[in-house]
Amino acid sequence: MPVHEWGSTGDDTPGLLLLQEIFGVSDYIKQRASDLAALGYYVIAPEIYWRLDDTSLDESDPELLQRAMGIVQRLDWGQAVTDSVAALDYLRARGKGAGIVGFCFGGGLGFNVAAASSPDVLVSYYGSSLPQLIDLAPKVTATSLHHFGDADTYLKADAVIPTLGDAEIHRYAEAGHAFDNPMPAFHHADASELAWRRTVDFLARHLPTSQGQA
């Protein structure tokens, strides 16, 4: 499975599994990986679509969303979970702590992975498949943070939040789905900035790096 890497693999470096949106390991995901690596984490982002053919995506394509959704519909979800668990197990075997950060498609996939093979922490941004995965909630024992946009027409937070137990939950008024993505069709600057600050603080508290403050 092709895996992108960022940051140091040093003895004191916790690992983060970064799970992509439906748009693959895009420039945006790579930037977030770099942001996390700058905080002192060793970050890996697997190519979840690697078993499929014809998965190239052009972010300038006006049909980008439709094409990406078509790719996801061809994906074997169970195999994607298995592949992601293997990536998490690789990080865990390093013995320095391992967490998951997932966006959209990856937020739901990360939740499923956390139920199957508990990481130390889970950060899920508007996990698009959460409504279909709520029965797994009792199996997610990782310390968790979830971000939701109140203007998300794809994912209704009110249907999901009651199932998430003692997870840290943040909601963002007027922010829609994928509000952290910088593409103009999705981006909500204020929500993106605040959610990222909260993510950084959460990781610093629950999966600290040798830098002292993530």
Q: In what order do the strands lie in the sheet with 143-149?
A: 3-6, 42-46, 15-19, 98-103, 121-125, 143-149, 168-172
Q: Where are the beta strands (DSSP E) in 84-193?
A: 98-103, 121-125, 143-149, 168-172
Whole-number Å distance between alpha carbons of 42 and 76: 27
Instruction: Give bridge partners of residue 121 from the DSSP assignment.
Output: 99, 143
Q: Give CATH for domain 3-206.
A: 3.40.50.1820
Q: How far apart (Å, rounded) are the C-alpha atoms in residues 146 and 182?
A: 19
| Residue 95: HSE in the Cβ half-sphere, 13 Å Cα cutoff | 1
List the pLDDT tens digit at each of the 214 positions of the chain: 999 999 988 878 999 999 999 999 999 999 999 999 999 999 999 999 999 998 888 888 888 889 999 999 999 999 999 999 999 999 999 999 999 999 999 999 999 999 999 899 999 999 999 999 999 999 999 999 999 999 999 999 999 999 999 999 999 999 999 999 999 999 999 999 999 999 999 999 999 998 754 4
Any idea of the CA torsion for 104, 108, 109, 112, to the nearest 10 degrees? 170
Please give the positions annotated as active site: 104, 152, 177
Specify the pLDDT at position 90: 96
pLDDT at 94: 92
Give the CA diameter of the chain.
44
Please state the domain extents for the chain: 3-206
